């Protein structure tokens, strides 16, 4: 994320802008990431959390993020104590593992992406457990809850390495292609086959559980239910 300056001649103040990962192959992946980011912003605002770390550690994180297999093999500096003096009781309860920290202990610890997303026992609650704790106090219908959980579980599995990231999947596809000569050169045939496979995955013609897992069917419908439409009108 970064600070976003206000537009000229506007009453809008400075904002914090999330910078999630690049666009993914399928609508399901993109929807999962958008859902995760939106819910995380709600958690931060509702629980009054503090994720600020020194810019020097951000720079170190950026360097590590560029390495191959960073999602599984690298660690990133993250804030250990994320609650603030104005955080509500439910936030302190959920983050109790990270608030029993005296002034002498480290405020920032290196963690893997999996630990940041899913939690590190005794150290950090995890972003998705925080989201689930937030959702437990919300009035969400069954279908929406089911869809959200599909998205969050997908994020959890990818962070934990149970399913491949897009970069890892593309690298694996290329290196296993019969036309690849282990010379870092992508031939037209490899390029064509890769794009054809990606298109097949996008259209649902080709199943790819190693990239998406086994459950990508959402219960959310594109149309608004009739009952809700009448209520809105």
- The model's pLDDT over 146-201, given as tens digits with 9 standing for 90+, comes to 999 999 999 999 999 999 999 999 999 999 999 999 999 999 999 999 999 999 99
At 220 the pLDDT is 57
> CA gyration radius for the chain?
21
Q: Alpha carbon of 200 to those of 26, 89, 180, 205, 224: distances in Å?
A: 10, 48, 21, 5, 29
Which residue would you say has higher pLDDT here, 139 or 101? Answer: 139
Say if domain 164-212 classifies as CATH 3.30.360.10: no
Q: What is the mean pLDDT of the chain?
A: 86
> Which range (113-122, 139-148, 168-177) has the least confidence?
139-148
| Cα 104 to Cα 97: distance, rounded to the nearest angstrom | 16
The domain locations on the chain are: 2-163, 164-212
Query: The whole model's pTM is what?
Result: 0.82
**Percent of the chain whose predicted confidence (pLDDT) is above 70:** 86
| Cα 115 to Cα 118: distance, rounded to the nearest angstrom | 5
């Amino acid at each position: 994320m970064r600070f976003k300056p206000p537009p000229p001649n506007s009453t809008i103040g400075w904002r914090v802008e999330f910078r999630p990962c690049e666009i993914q192959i399928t609508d399901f992946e993109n929807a999962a990431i958008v859902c995760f980011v939106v819910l995380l912003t709600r958690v931060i605002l509702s629980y009054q959390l503090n994720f600020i770390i020194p810019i020097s550690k951000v720079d170190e994180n950026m360097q590590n993020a560029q390495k191959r297999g960073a999602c599984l093999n690298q660690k990133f500096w993250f804030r250990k104590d994320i609650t603030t003096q104005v955080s509500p009781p439910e936030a302190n309860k959920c983050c109790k593992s990270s608030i029993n920290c005296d002034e002498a202990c480290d405020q920032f610890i290196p963690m893997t992406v999996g630990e940041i997303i899913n939690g590190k026992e005794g150290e950090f609650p995890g972003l998705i457990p925080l989201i689930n704790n937030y959702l437990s106090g919300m009035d969400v219908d069954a279908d929406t809850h089911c869809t959200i959980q599909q998205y969050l579980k997908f994020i959890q599995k990818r962070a934990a390495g149970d399913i491949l990231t897009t970069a890892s999947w593309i690298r694996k596809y290329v290196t296993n292609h019969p036309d690849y000569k282990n010379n870092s050169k992508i031939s037209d045939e490899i390029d064509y086959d890769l794009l054809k496979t990606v298109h097949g995955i996008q259209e649902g013609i080709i199943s790819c559980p190693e990239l998406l897992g086994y459950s990508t069917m959402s219960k959310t419908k594109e149309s608004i239910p009739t009952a809700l439409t009448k209520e809105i009108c």
